[in-house]
């Protein structure tokens, strides 16, 4: 067997609780926790299911009826001009506001009064149930109010309906779901439909009243605007008459005249310029040879053109005859005279045209001058009336504004009158509540499933919390993690369930035999139960000591614990008997000079012992008590009063000399030492021991106590051979060791 000696730590970092939180919570550890704590998990699950079943059996069945209302704005477009528009959207806040209206006190109060729910025990509080009745009675002790008034009863009925009423928007639609719970299916449907109808009627009434108030205000305001518009028009006309302002279809008459004169002046100036150009042109060509083609083309006159054509023909004949007959020929002279006459005729025609152009120019010039004078007069007149026109525009603007307002209000008044005579709501009922055919609560299957899941969650939570927050040791792994030494075994609790007292034994004389007395003593348990788990675990401690003796001298073994009442005395006594039964010379010493528990158990009549041997080592044989059954030598401790210097006695040279002598005569020397934390005896004598076995009470000794006791003495840490868990609960021990299989305990026989 591999024995792991204790390796002292550098320092104690404080207590660790249950499972080391620094370790990974693996599947194996989870299964181990469930295996150890399954009774707690089962108990919590059973408790939760019991509560749920009790609730299901006592809860009053409730029935829920549902109705649905649609917010539809297209209904309000029947009388609108743009009723063909179908994509009108509703503000989500408007839909949420309708939810609050359906839950409002006034609407619910109208239902209470309409259906006379104050006479219904479900709503008037006359049959509240056992628990609410008790609570009401208790609260009435602190209240001085008399019998409830009708108003208070109605208020209570409203609160009851609101508590069982659920109004919500269906997802992102414009549909409202109205649900009501009641102990009666018929009543649930009736109240749900009543709430829906009351909402519809209230919406229509609210819209009618709103339209009526708006119509009255619009009518009054329209009359005021009509008077204001008439007064404004009258002011405009009066101002025009006072300032001689005449209006036409194109504006004011003065402005129209000014525009016309300006247009005429522009045309006159153009005509004057044109006449002047013609006159200048005719005067320019009058000094030139009028028979030239350019003159004829510039004037473009039919008379001159014809005369020039005749002139050209005569010029051609003159040229021909003068060449043939000579210029002095009478015929040539006649042609020259004819040509001169034609030239004069052309000149006369040009002068006539020039006189005509000059006359036209003078007329145009005179007309232009007249229009300019007229224009200056109109401009002067326009400047004098400029301020009046500004004031006129203000008056006309005010008159137009009042007239437009009056027309708009008149149109709205007509619409309001139509809506008032034909009221319509934005909502309509799309699903009427019907009598439900099955209860809505409590949901038995859902409650049971939730109970199982919740119970398991609470159970697992409690189990893991109990393990994680546990400050005690229950498994060999806990011991090895905490102390760093091998756990030599787990000793089951061998104490009887109900200890037999001396008075009880006196009343039962049949049990007063020595065998019965020994049976009731735990110090001989290994003798009477040699094949029990308790005995086998002590054998494992002996084997561990024997293995350690192969490498070093191990004869003096101290049995120690952190605190009193951890069972170290019982372990020491049984270990001594077990070792003696194997044929080894074994000495058991009661080293606890404070309580002497081992002496009272094995040699209650002893009057001498360890103290006397320390005074005279040669008298050892006179003080030792030998067991006739096992051959165990026992050295008791007897003192008249508690010793003050017990630690000095245990660590004295006499103690060392006595143990030196005993090493020669015994194979095993077992010393039952005092607890480490209350007194210092174990620390003082630790240097005289070869090994120490630490007894830890299973499920009771805390990690704080264990760490404090171990950190108080480095000598104990070095001499520690191993630890043993004592007084383990056999039933829980089976659960902890369930992974070892169902046949693990088949070798143990707890009864002789």
Instruction: Report the pLDDT averaged over residues 715-727.
Output: 90
Per-residue model confidence (pLDDT) at position 577: 93
Higher pLDDT, 497 or 345: 345
Dihedral of the alpha carbons of 543, 545, 549, 555, in degrees to the nearest 10: -130
For every residue of 251-288, DSSP letters joined together read EEHHHHHHHHHHHHHHHHHHHHHHHHHHHHHHHHHTTS
Would you give the DSSP letter of residue 745?
G
Q: If phi over 0 gives left and psi between -120 and 50 gives alpha, with beta otherwise, what is residue 209? A: alpha
When pLDDT is averaged across residues 260-273 and rounded to a whole number, the result is 84
Cα gap 418→412, rounded to integer Å:
10
Model pLDDT, residue 544: 92
Higher pLDDT pick, 679 / 519: 679
Q: Are 498 and 551 in contact (CB under 8 A)?
A: no
Give, for 165, the enclosing helix (H) or strand (E): strand 165-169
Beta carbons within 8 Å of 440's beta carbon, 6+ residues apart: 62, 63, 64, 181
Residue 139 binned pLDDT confidence (cut-offs 50, 70, 90): low
pLDDT at residue 12, as a whole number: 40
**Dihedral angle sign, alpha carbons of residues 421, 426, 428, 430:** positive
pLDDT at 444: 86
Give the position of tokens 């404090």.
708
Residue 740 predicted with pLDDT over 80 = no
Q: Quick check: 560 and 743 in contact, CB under 8 A?
A: no
User: Is the Cα dihedral 109, 115, 116, 118 positive or negative?
Assistant: negative
CA distance between the termini of the chain:
28
Q: Which residue has the higher pLDDT, 708 or 76?
A: 708
Tens of pLDDT, residue by residue over 186-233, are 999 999 999 999 998 888 888 878 877 877 887 887 888 888 888 888
**What pLDDT band is residue 512 in, cutting at 50, 70 and 90?**
very low
- Report residue 164: phi and psi, to 5°: -95, 0
In this predicted structure, the answer to whether residue 265 has a pLDDT above a threshold of 70 is: yes
Q: What is the mean pLDDT of the chain?
A: 80
Asked if pLDDT for residue 178 goes beyond 90, the answer is: yes
Model confidence over 397-447: pLDDT tens digits?
887 887 888 788 788 777 777 666 666 777 888 899 999 988 888 888 888
Tell me the C-alpha distance between 642 and 595, whole Å: 8
Domains present along the chain, CATH in parentheses: 27-59+446-467 (no CATH), 63-207+423-431 (3.30.1890), 251-384 (no CATH), 474-493+521-747 (3.40.50.300)
């Amino acid at each position: 067997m591999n024995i792991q000696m204790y390796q002292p730590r550098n320092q104690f970092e404080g207590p660790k609780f249950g499972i080391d939180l620094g370790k990974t919570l693996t599947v194996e550890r989870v299964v181990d926790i469930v295996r150890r704590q399954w009774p707690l998990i089962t108990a919590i699950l059973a408790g939760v299911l019991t509560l749920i079943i009790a609730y299901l059996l006592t809860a009053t069945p409730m029935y829920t009826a549902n109705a649905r209302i649609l917010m539809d704005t297209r209904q309000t477009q029947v009388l609108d001009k743009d009723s063909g528009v179908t994509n009108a959207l509703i503000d989500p806040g408007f839909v949420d506001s309708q939810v609050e209206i359906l839950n409002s006190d006034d609407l619910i109060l109208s239902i209470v009064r309409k259906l006379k729910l104050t006479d219904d025990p479900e709503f008037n509080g006359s049959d509240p149930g056992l628990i609410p009745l008790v609570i009401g009675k208790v609260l009435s002790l602190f209240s001085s109010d008399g019998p409830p008034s009708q108003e208070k009863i109605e208020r209570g009925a409203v609160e009851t309906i609101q508590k069982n009423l659920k109004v919500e928007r269906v997802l992102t639609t414009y549909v409202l779901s109205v649900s009501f719970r009641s102990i009666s299916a018929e009543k649930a449907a009736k109240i749900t439909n009543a709430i829906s109808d009351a909402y519809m009627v209230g919406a229509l009434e609210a819209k009618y009243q709103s339209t009526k108030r708006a119509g009255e205000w619009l009518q009054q305001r329209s009359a005021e605007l009509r008077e204001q518009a008439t007064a404004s028009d009258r002011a405009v006309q009066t101002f025009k008459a006072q300032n001689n302002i005449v209006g036409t279809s194109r504006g004011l008459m003065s402005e129209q005249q000014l525009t016309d004169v300006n247009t005429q002046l522009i045309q006159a100036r153009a005509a004057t310029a044109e006449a002047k150009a013609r006159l200048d042109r005719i005067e320019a060509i009058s000094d030139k040879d009028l028979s030239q083609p350019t003159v004829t083309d510039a004037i473009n006159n039919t008379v001159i053109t014809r005369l020039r054509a005749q002139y050209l023909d005569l010029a051609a004949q003159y040229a021909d005859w003068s060449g043939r007959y000579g210029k002095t020929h009478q015929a040539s002279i006649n042609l020259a005279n004819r040509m001169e006459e034609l030239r004069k005729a052309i000149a006369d025609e040009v002068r006539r045209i020039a006189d005509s152009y000059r006359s036209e120019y003078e007329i145009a010039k005179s007309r232009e001058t007249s229009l300019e004078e007229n224009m200056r007069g109109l401009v002067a007149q326009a400047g004098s009336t400029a301020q009046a026109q500004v004031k006129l525009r203000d008056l006309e603007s005010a008159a137009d504004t009042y007239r437009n307002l009056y027309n708009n209000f008149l149109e709205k008044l007509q619409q309001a009158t139509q809506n008032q005579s034909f009221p319509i709501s934005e909502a309509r009922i799309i699903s009427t509540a019907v009598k439900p055919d099955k209860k809505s609560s409590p949901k038995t299957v859902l409650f049971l499933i939730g109970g199982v899941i919740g119970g398991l969650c609470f159970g697992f939570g409690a189990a893991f919390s109990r393990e994680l927050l546990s400050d005690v040791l229950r498994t060999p792994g806990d011991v090895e993690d905490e102390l760093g030494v091998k756990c030599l075994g787990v000793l089951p609790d061998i104490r009887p369930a109900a200890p037999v007292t001396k008075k009880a034994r006196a009343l039962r004389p049949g049990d007063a035999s020595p065998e019965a007395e020994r049976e009731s003593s735990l110090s001989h348990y290994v003798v009477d139960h040699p094949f029990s788990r308790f005995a086998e675990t002590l054998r494992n401690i002996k084997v561990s000591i024997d293995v350690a003796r192969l490498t070093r001298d191990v004869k003096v073994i101290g049995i120690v614990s952190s605190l009193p009442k951890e069972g170290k005395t019982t372990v020491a006594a049984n270990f001594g008997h077990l070792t003696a039964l194997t044929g080894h010379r074994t000495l058991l010493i009661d080293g606890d000079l404070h309580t002497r528990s081992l002496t009272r158990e094995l040699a209650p009549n002893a009057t001498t012992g360890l103290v006397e041997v320390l005074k005279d080592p040669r008298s050892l044989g006179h003080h030792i008590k030998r067991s006739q059954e096992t051959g165990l030598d026992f050295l008791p401790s007897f003192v008249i009063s508690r010793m003050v210097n017990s630690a000095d006695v245990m660590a004295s040279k006499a103690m060392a000399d006595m143990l030196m002598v005993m090493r020669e005569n015994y194979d095993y020397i077992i010393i039952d030492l005092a607890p480490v934390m209350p007194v210092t005896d174990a620390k003082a004598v630790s240097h005289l021991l070869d090994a120490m076995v630490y007894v830890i009470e299973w499920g009771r000794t805390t990690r704080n106590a264990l760490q404090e006791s171990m950190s108080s003495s480095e000598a104990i840490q070095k001499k520690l051979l191993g630890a043993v868990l004592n007084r383990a609960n056999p039933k829980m021990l089976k659960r902890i060791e369930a992974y070892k299989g169902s046949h693990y305990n088949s070798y143990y026989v707890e009864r002789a």
